[in-house]
Amino acid sequence: MPALTRRSARKAGLPPESLVYTGDRQGGAVRISVIDYDADRVAEQELASVDQCAPFRDKPTVTWINVDGVHDAAVLEKLGGCFGLHRLVIEDIMSTDQRPKTEDFGEYLYIVLQMLSPDGKDNIVSEQVSIVLGKNVVLSFQEGIEGDVFSPLRERIRTGKGKIRKLGADHLAYCLLDAIVDGYFVVLEKFGEKIDRTENELIAEPTERTARTIYRLKRELLALHRSVWPVREVMAALSRRDIDLIGDASVPYFRDVYDHVVQAIDTVEIYREMLSEMIGIYLSSVSNRLNAVMKVLTIIATIFMPITFIVGVYGMNFKYMPELEWKYGYAAVWAVMIAATAGMFLFFKRKKWM
């Protein structure tokens, strides 16, 4: 059974708003970090408990609260109560197989999508990221896998580079989404390199290992397609001007991310076509190689047919066969067989069958 099916089955039969973690992380503490800033100052701290989040709820500065670990229902429920999150939102945060989507709850905006990154071993790490955009606060929820794509963003906030410290929480949400989408291109570049290596192997000398690699890449590409394709709908919804929490000044930035998502989807579709063609090339190569082997065997069998006929005739046990008494009968038979072989060989050469 696929992993996603097993995860979804954990909630089968439960009532709505049931807080069930469907990811793979087992235990460990939930880490909560805060970056609070405005145009003149920035402050960072690690919070020991959810209660320490309350002072940031109504501050005029922009606050980014990042939560690493969504497996503890008690912590998330308490955090949701602090910021007025609907219980269904908490349920979606803990369900790590969500389809990318956005929901407008009026006082806050809920966005969920997959963060993709290479692990350095030719594998793709997928982690669900949930983002809650409020008036002056942005909450981000990660599954707790080591590392993320937000390090450059944190550095920009610390150093004050760009416009991020001068703009509001909606621009911070844009920066988070932009960092995640930019990560797609890193993954797609690595994936393209794997396709190039497999294509070179396919052209040089395809083997069963090549076929297994192609089918493995197709499965990975299906996972990429599932993660990237719905993000277009999310960014299209965020690019409209009917969301109160996103100012008109930030709309063009969200549209820019939408363009990047479309570009990523186009790349996925190109890779999809390439892999389909590679499967066809592999099957054609195997078929051509089989035909070449059969051609050689057929030529050998055809050349030996007259020789076999001659040997069969003179291998019969009849008493009265005049050729058996000839002094040069043995040599004559050899001469006929060699001449027949040479004649057929030249005939095949003239026909360019070999």
CATH architecture observed for domain 291-350? Up-down Bundle (1.20)
Predicted pLDDT at 1: 34
Instruction: List per-residue pLDDT tens for the chain, 354 residues long.
Output: 345 544 555 666 577 767 778 877 766 788 999 999 998 899 999 998 888 898 888 889 999 999 998 888 899 999 999 999 999 999 999 988 889 999 999 899 999 999 998 877 778 888 999 999 999 999 999 988 887 889 999 999 998 888 888 899 999 999 999 999 999 999 999 999 999 988 888 887 888 888 888 889 999 999 899 999 999 999 999 998 888 899 888 999 999 999 999 999 999 999 999 988 888 888 887 777 787 788 888 888 888 888 888 888 878 877 777 777 777 888 888 888 888 888 888 887 887 777
pLDDT of residue 320: 74
Q: Which residues contact 23 (CB under 8 A, 6 or more apart)?
A: 7, 70, 71, 94, 96, 128, 143
Q: 317 CB contacts (<8 Å, ≥6 apart)? A: none
**What letter would DSSP give residue 165?**
G
* 3-state SS, residue 95: coil
> What are the residue boundaries of the structural domains of the chain, listed by start?
3-284, 291-350
CATH number of 3-284: 3.30.460.20
**DSSP-assigned letter for residue 123:** -
Q: How much is the pLDDT for 269?
A: 93
pTM given for the model: 0.80
Contact 92, 103 (CB under 8 A): no
Burial class of residue 111 (count of CB atoms within 10 Å of its CB; 0-12, 13-18, 19+)? buried
